[in-house]
Structure 1
Amino acid sequence: MYLLLGAVMGTLGGLFGIGGGLVAIPALGVLFGLDQQLAQGTALLMVLPNVLLALWRYNQRNRISVRNAMLLIVPSFIMSWLTSLWAVRIDPQSMRIGFVGFLVVLTLFNVIQMYWRKGQSGPQLRHGRWLWVLGLGSGVTAGMFGVGGGVIATPILTGIFGASQVAAQGLALALAAPATIITMTTYALHGHVDWRMGIPLAIGGLASISWGVALAHSLPERLLRSLFCVFLVICAIMLCFRV
């Protein structure tokens, strides 16, 4: 069962460039009754190999700028570590309510961004020198909620920095990889990882994430964004059943 669930999460992670954590967290909380920190830590164990494999696949198809990636990665890594040290001590119920609010805000931002009049996307990012600010913000959400790179960076990279959807998802995966490592390590050291559940989830995700990446490159950009918004709403509704 964990292998099959991991395969579904891996496919969605590859499709949306999020590693599968955003769907894993509400699924583990609702279906298996894990508290919020344990759900996030276990999801991170599944997400880490998925993120690394998806990053490799995206880089094969669309070469990721090392300079842009580093502007995102360094501040994100630092903030993920600091925020995760605080997150493991918060009341699980308060954390879950905060996570639902985070999903609602993110959904609204994505809907607005779909209809936001902006310039054409291109190979060069607009306002590229401000990428470090995005790295800081993504690091905070990664450390607090176990998700950051894909769900935060992707819509901002497309809406503000002018990246295409696929290029943004590749950069978001580069951002997510080191933040996921440090956040999972912090959660694990505080006993918030279920290894028995997380390892088969990770294996299932690794077996399927390439399908999601291939599907992402075959879909129209507007449809991909619409699916992402629907996906966020479903995750928020799932978590509301546990609040």
Structure 2
Amino acid sequence: MIEIVMFVLMGAAMGTLGGLFGIGGGLVAIPALGVLFGLDQQLAQGTALLMVLPNVLLALWRYNQRNRISLRNALMLIIPSFCLAWLTSLWAVRLDPHSMRLAFVGFLIVLTVFNLIQMYWRNGNASTELRHAKWLWVLGLGSGVTGGLFGVGGGVIATPILTGVFGATQVVAQGLALALATPSTAITLVTYAVHGHVNWQMGIPLAVGGLASISWGVRLAHSLPEKMLRTLFCGFLVICAVVLALKV
């Protein structure tokens, strides 16, 4: 019983961060499950996906209530992402866990550097109308690959690219990233579960805690200044990379 309560509280903390950054909590859960509970990379990712999916669904609904998400833009991201996430996840479940963890740390480092660069270099003003929207499908492909391989991808890779390349505001980018992440997260979770890479006893309480707190994170995201939200997101990525690197 004590363990269940602990997982629910952990899920609540992860859900808050997931709502704040539009990532569903997966980036928090994967390092935590790997470092604190000794799960190998695939099992940590699969268990995190079980928590992430309901969180992403709820966060997407909350974001859409506050800032209507363009269905056309969302579909241009979702369709290629779903296909690539499914194919990549079939490959990821067969990889060496240690190599997967090294790759995940590298992915976080690259993402952090990209975020830091775009904080000081912006091509034009942010807007709810995207620039170069016809190329959104390319972002969908890339997000699908990272989502299938690492269990995260939609919010993590799409948000900085949507703001830096496509000119979206941070909040609009995070809403679109959640729309992108939902179907690819679902198919990746199914693949990991079929191959036995999900700890249901951990994942379900984490999901319950996340669902209870993610709405608060979304409200907080809409109340913070744009630059502060970006700074917090970069700091969050650095912490995750360091924590996982210590485990490698």
TM-score (norm 1): 0.99
Q: What RMSD over aligned residues (CA atoms) do the two structures have, in Å?
A: 0.5
Instruction: Name the structure 1 match of 2:3.
Output: none
In structure 1, list runs of 5 or more residues that go unmatched: none
SS in 2 for 1:47: helix
1:162-189 Cα shifts (integer Å, max 9, x gaps): 1000000000000000000000000000
CA distance in 1, matches of 2:161, 2:89: 23
CA distance in 2, matches of 1:140, 1:42: 19
- Aligned residue type for 2:35: V
Residue 83 (1) aligns with residue 113 (2): no
C-alpha displacement of 1:123: 2.4
Equivalences, count: 243
CA distance in 2, matches of 1:161, 1:93: 35
- Aligned residue type for 2:223: S
C-alpha displacement of 1:241: 1.8
Give the alignment partner of residue 138 of structure 1, picking from 137, 143, 146.
Answer: 143
- Aligned residue type for 1:22: L
Residue 150 (1) aligns with residue 158 (2): no
SS in 1 for 2:28: helix
CA distance in 2, matches of 1:174, 1:139: 12
Instruction: Name the structure 2 match of 1:18.
Output: 23
In structure 2, list runs of 5 or more residues that go unmatched: 1-5
Instruction: Name the structure 1 match of 2:182.
Output: 177
- Aligned residue type for 2:12: A
Instruction: Name the structure 1 match of 2:226.
Output: 221
1:121-168 Cα shifts (integer Å, max 9, x gaps): 222110000000000000000000000011100000000101000000
C-alpha displacement of 1:231: 0.3
CA distance in 2, matches of 1:159, 1:38: 33
Question: Counterparts in 2 of 1:228-243, with a 5 A limit?
Answer: 228-243=233-248
- Aligned residue type for 2:157: I
- Aligned residue type for 1:219: L
CA distance in 1, matches of 2:126, 2:22: 18
Instruction: Name the structure 1 match of 2:59.
Output: 54
Instruction: Name the structure 2 match of 1:37.
Output: 42
CA distance in 2, matches of 1:163, 1:117: 11
C-alpha displacement of 1:118: 1.8
- Aligned residue type for 1:117: R
Instruction: Name the structure 2 match of 1:112.
Output: 117
1:25-68 Cα shifts (integer Å, max 9, x gaps): 00000000000000000000000000000000000000000000
CA distance in 1, matches of 2:169, 2:55: 22
CA distance in 2, matches of 1:53, 1:122: 24
CA distance in 2, matches of 1:181, 1:87: 15
Instruction: Name the structure 1 match of 2:193.
Output: 188
Residue 93 (1) aligns with residue 98 (2): yes
Instruction: Name the structure 2 match of 1:71.
Output: 76
CA distance in 2, matches of 1:41, 1:92: 12
**Runs of 4 or more above 2 Å deviation:** none
SS in 1 for 2:166: coil
CA distance in 2, matches of 1:173, 1:117: 22
Identity of counterpart residues, as a percentage? 79
CA distance in 2, matches of 1:164, 1:241: 34
CA distance in 1, matches of 2:50, 2:36: 18
